[in-house]
Amino acid sequence: MALCALVGAATPTGIEVGLSQQTFDNFKNTLLPQLLAELSDVTLPNYSKILGNGFFKVSVLVSKVHATNFNLDLENTGLTLVGPNSAEIKASGLTGQMTFTWAYESPLGGDSGQGSVEIQDFLMSATLVLGQINGAPHMTVSAMNFQISDINIVISNSPIANVANWLLSVLKDNFIADLTAALNQYGPPTLNSVLGEVLGQYSTTVNITDTLAINYQLTQDPVVVSSSYVQLSVLGQFIDLTHPNLNITNFVTPPPKLPGFNPADGEIQVFVTEYTLNTGLYAGLSSGAFSGEVTPDTPGIGYMLTTTVLDSAFPGLVNMYGEDEPCTFACAAVAPAPTFTLTQGTPGSITGSITMECDLLVQKNRTVSMSIASTFNTEASLENWVLNLTLTHTEVSSVTVINSLLNPRPSGEALEAFLNLLVQGVLPSAFLSIFGQGITLPTYEGVDLSDATLSIMTGYLSIQATPVFTFGKETESLNTR
């Protein structure tokens, strides 16, 4: 079997993911309160102003201007997908509170105290650009705009009403402009930081075993389709870690054309193609996972591996080697690679085929070499966003004797019944080594997809889920309006 380096061929898409408009609405409902909680850390510069002159000169200072709380009316906040790769957020009904310390000095004396600012209504809009960097999803704020309509300043601890009027004249006009500028300056990096924390949980490569991994890198930027859902194209290809430069694409049939997003099926729809599963089988072949030995110590079948027992299937063993000599079968999968075929039905079926070359070894002699073709059936299930494949049946379909030291040469037809036991002793353990831990689908920290369901279609597995966003739970109290 030849090993080829990666070449500049078209990148296939083994997994397609569709995210509905509703998914982004749910994302917004969780993300924005967390963003507003982060904005509660805004501190503005000190304000100072001199009123009058000479004997009537009054110096006013406002300091320690600090946000204490922002609130949001999520029902009046919208998110709209915009082609080709953006989402627009517009939030209204936003309110906030800030505190400050004030002081004044004049020839007649001075005073100081505390005050608060109530931001009675302001608007926010932002544009999120969806992309990918080195195959990992990336989301950035390309534009953000805060607009404050009105504020109400309350002076406390002040026995002199005129001071309050002076402070209002100092703050009212300038404070709105300065506060707006500060929020517009602070908002985008804050939102980008929150998005980076969420999306940073995505790993483009997940190890399955010591020799196998699966590559989940995006093959192109996310695409907004018909302003109703976002389509993610994912490589979904197994990697043979023992041959990291192997271009499996050269040996595995390209994935089929997948159906479009169906809004009735679920907010998140994932299509896992035969291509992804077959790259797993091919990587198992190239890494040697489909290799093994059946010896007298093998449970269930080992007791049969003696020249005396096998003489009926391999006539002449006893004459050549004597009675009760131990025998060993050494097997390895060969090209063509094992394949999965997915077929829609009730229930749907997953069938496969594999060709193995096995040698009968007696007293270290390669006595008979055979090519064994087998078919197998598997079941697919989904649990906690992990795709599980279970081998349910395997059967030898044909046997071809390649070389033999025995005379007469063993008959392939006569060997089939016995070799069914042999393959059933080898194939399950090899299958388990590749798929035994399941295939973990791409996930994010803080996104619960435990309600997902799975269907077997022709050429692909269809998975539907309704995501529950759990990041930023500590900010849920913000959504109170």
Residue-by-residue DSSP string for 109-173: EEEEEEEEEEEEEEEEEEEEEEEEETTEEEEEEEEEEEEEEEEEEEE-S-S-HHHHHHHHHHHHH
Q: Is residue 207 part of a domain?
A: no
Q: Is residue 210 part of a domain?
A: no
Same domain, 159 and 301: no
pLDDT at 441 over 90: no
Same domain, 316 and 408: yes
Q: Is residue 183 part of a domain?
A: yes
Q: How confident is the model at residue 474, as a pLDDT?
A: 42
Same domain, 161 and 291: no
Model confidence pLDDT, tens digit, residues 332-368: 999 888 999 999 987 789 999 999 999 999 998 999 9
Model confidence pLDDT, tens digit, residues 173-186: 677 777 788 778 87
pLDDT at 93 over 80: no
Predicted confidence band of residue 238 (pLDDT cuts 50, 70, 90): very high
Predicted confidence band of residue 6 (pLDDT cuts 50, 70, 90): very low
> CATH number for the domain including 289?
3.15.20.10
Backbone angles phi, psi at 296, to 5 degrees: -60, -15
Same domain, 196 and 282: no
Q: How confident is the model at residue 231, as a pLDDT?
A: 92
Same domain, 73 and 187: yes
Q: How confident is the model at residue 94, as a pLDDT?
A: 75
- CA 86 to CA 115: how far, in whole Å? 41
Predicted confidence band of residue 476 (pLDDT cuts 50, 70, 90): very low
Percent of the chain at pLDDT above 70?
90
- Would you call 216 helix, strand, or coil by DSSP? coil
- Of the residues 201, 225, 246, which one is the last residue of a structural domain? 201
Same domain, 168 and 37: yes
Q: Is residue 211 part of a domain?
A: no
Instruction: Print the domain residue range for 433.
Output: 268-465
Average pLDDT value for residue range 9-30: 83
Same domain, 197 and 274: no
Average pLDDT value for residue range 38-57: 72
Model confidence pLDDT, tens digit, residues 258-285: 888 887 778 899 999 999 999 999 999 9
Counting Cβ atoms within 10 Å, is residue 390 exposed (0-12), middle (13-18) or buried (19+)?
Answer: middle
Domain count across the chain: 2
Predicted confidence band of residue 236 (pLDDT cuts 50, 70, 90): very high
Q: Are 187 and 39 in contact (CB under 8 A)?
A: yes
- The token duo for 4 is 């080829």
Where do we find the tokens 């059933």? 424
Same domain, 307 and 192: no
Same domain, 190 and 323: no
Average pLDDT value for residue range 147-172: 66
* Least confident among 155-169, 214-228, 347-361, 467-481: 467-481
Same domain, 356 and 457: yes
Q: Is residue 40 part of a domain?
A: yes
Q: How confident is the model at residue 217, as a pLDDT?
A: 93
Q: Is residue 11 part of a domain?
A: no
Q: Is residue 58 part of a domain?
A: yes
* Least confident among 108-112, 153-157, 316-320: 153-157
> CATH number for the domain including 98?
3.15.10.10
Same domain, 189 and 278: no
Amino acid at position 294, single letter: V
The H or E element that residue 332 is part of is strand 327-333
At a CB cut-off of 8 Å and minimum separation 6, what does 159 contact?
Answer: 111
pLDDT at 161 over 60: no
Higher pLDDT among residues 7 and 334, named by residue:
334
- CA 100 to CA 96: how far, in whole Å? 14
Q: Are 229 and 460 in contact (CB under 8 A)?
A: no
Q: How confident is the model at residue 256, as a pLDDT?
A: 83
- CA 59 to CA 51: how far, in whole Å? 6
How high does pLDDT run on average in the chain? 83
Predicted confidence band of residue 42 (pLDDT cuts 50, 70, 90): low
Q: Is residue 79 part of a domain?
A: yes
Model confidence pLDDT, tens digit, residues 63-87: 887 777 777 777 778 888 998 999 8
Q: How confident is the model at residue 156, as a pLDDT?
A: 66
- CA 28 to CA 34: how far, in whole Å? 10
Q: How confident is the model at residue 9, as a pLDDT?
A: 44
Same domain, 176 and 91: yes
Q: Are 267 and 19 in contact (CB under 8 A)?
A: yes
pLDDT at 120 over 90: no
pLDDT at 423 over 60: yes
- pTM given for the model: 0.78
Q: How confident is the model at residue 480, as a pLDDT?
A: 26
- The token duo for 174 is 């300038």
Is the four-CA dihedral 255, 260, 264, 270 of positive or negative sign?
positive
Average pLDDT value for residue range 19-31: 82
Q: How confident is the model at residue 148, as a pLDDT?
A: 80
